[in-house]
A and B are shown apart, each in its own frame.
Chain A
Amino acid sequence: MTDVAAYATSTGEAFQFWVLGTVAVVGALCTVFMKKAVHSALCLAGTMIVLAVFYLANGAYFLGIVQIVVYTGAIMMLFLFVVMLVGVTAADSLKETIKGQRWLALLCGLGFGILLCAGIGNASLQEFNGLAQANSGGNVEGLAALIFTKYVFAFEITGALLITAAIGAMVLTHRERTERARTQRELAEQRVREGKQLPPLPAPGVYARHNAVDVPGLLPDGTPSELTVSRTLRERGQIRDVSDEAIQDLKALEQRAGERLGREEGVAK
């Protein structure tokens, strides 16, 4: 077993590599090519979990767990929060606006990948030692011994970096209110002055049959009014078109009425 480990891994690991490796690549590709940021984030999370498994397989137990807990659990969720805050508009168009950018990017990517692979292939990595010896006292203990001795300065500096980043984020997103908030009365006066939409916005077309905030209310001539739907839904393009449904509802109503009338007719007959 140890002889084999000098230059190869177990069959089980090879199987795992090929299956999960495929998943990871597909996840990465989806991250890049999904239209909606939410989907990208989810695909990335999948890739990261796969990577966590690979860490575990490579004897990096601590990192594997951290990858799942910190990366997938915390950082990706942070991404999702921001997506919710920011990316609620319609899905990105993947159409390129800068001339030649896509071709250049693909060319560079391809060339870079080929070069990296050539570099790896060039390096003579025919045998490897494995971490059996290094992990003999436990992986976490080994890492801890290194972090608090050899890398203690780097560790401290990283701590400072984290604090700085936290403060920086606060400073960046904090907005000082420079003027007094306007009272409701002032807002009402402004509305009157501008002469736009004096009364409250009209309510959406809520039908008794389902919960339908995304259904626009109908104007007297039967056309739907966009004003009646919340702006977020409008921007997402998630307004449900109910013009057909209303007609079908009407038809069904007529049919039922007809049936009942028929039955009554039948009864009468």
Chain B
Amino acid sequence: MNPVNYLYLAALLFTIGATGVLIRRNAIVVFMCVELMLNACNLAFVAFSRMHGNLDGQIIAFFTMVVAAAEVVVGLAIIVSLFRSRHSASVDDASLMKL
């Protein structure tokens, strides 16, 4: 098997995640889909790392994870405070900017 298949898998997961972000209204699920996209990228980085025979790709994936953790913390805090004020976790409810 050609390891390029890992890349195809990563692309597929990424696309599914992105579509999920666009379709779902529940902010938490949207957030999970974002995580899915990040993980797809990580998979691609790890596969590249193996292909090129150096560890830089893994390092990038590692940083991605750290940043994703930070992002999750802040994002979930935002969702919680949003829910507190609006009693809803729907991203469509936060549409005060519309005309």
Contacts and interface: CB of A to CB of B under 8 A. Distances in A.
CB–CB under 8 A between A and B in the complex?
yes
Interface of A: 7-9, 11, 13-14, 17, 21, 24-25, 28-29, 31-32, 37, 40-41, 44, 47-48, 51, 54-55, 58-60, 62-63, 66-67, 70-71, 74-75, 78-79, 82-83, 85-87, 92, 96-98, 101-102, 104-106, 108-110, 112-113, 116-117, 120, 125, 128-131, 133-135, 139, 142-143, 146-147, 151, 154-155, 158, 161-162, 164-166, 168-170, 172-173, 175
27 contacts: A9-B3, A44-B35, A47-B39, A51-B43, A54-B6, A58-B49, A60-B49, A63-B42, A63-B46, A71-B39, A78-B76, A79-B72, A82-B80, A108-B22, A109-B16, A117-B11, A120-B7, A125-B2, A125-B7, A130-B50, A134-B55, A151-B63, A162-B70, A165-B71, A168-B74, A170-B77, A172-B80
Interface of B: 1-9, 11-20, 22-26, 28-29, 31-33, 35-36, 39, 42-43, 46-47, 49-56, 58-59, 61-63, 65-74, 76-81, 83-84, 89, 92
B11 A101 contact: no
A151 B59 contact: yes
Given A25-B12, A44-B36, A128-B50, 17 more contacts: A9-B3, A31-B29, A60-B49, A67-B65, A71-B65, A75-B69, A79-B72, A86-B79, A101-B23, A120-B11, A125-B2, A125-B4, A131-B49, A146-B59, A168-B74, A173-B77, A175-B84
Contact of B1 (A13, A25, A135, A168): A13
A218 B68 CA distance: 51
B28 A86 contact: yes
Given A17-B1, A29-B16, A128-B52, A58 B80 contact: no
Contact of B72 (A25, A37, A78, A155): A78
Nearest to A166: B73
A98 B26 CA distance: 14
Given A37-B29, A82-B79, A32 B24 contact: yes
Contact of B74 (A108, A117, A172): A172
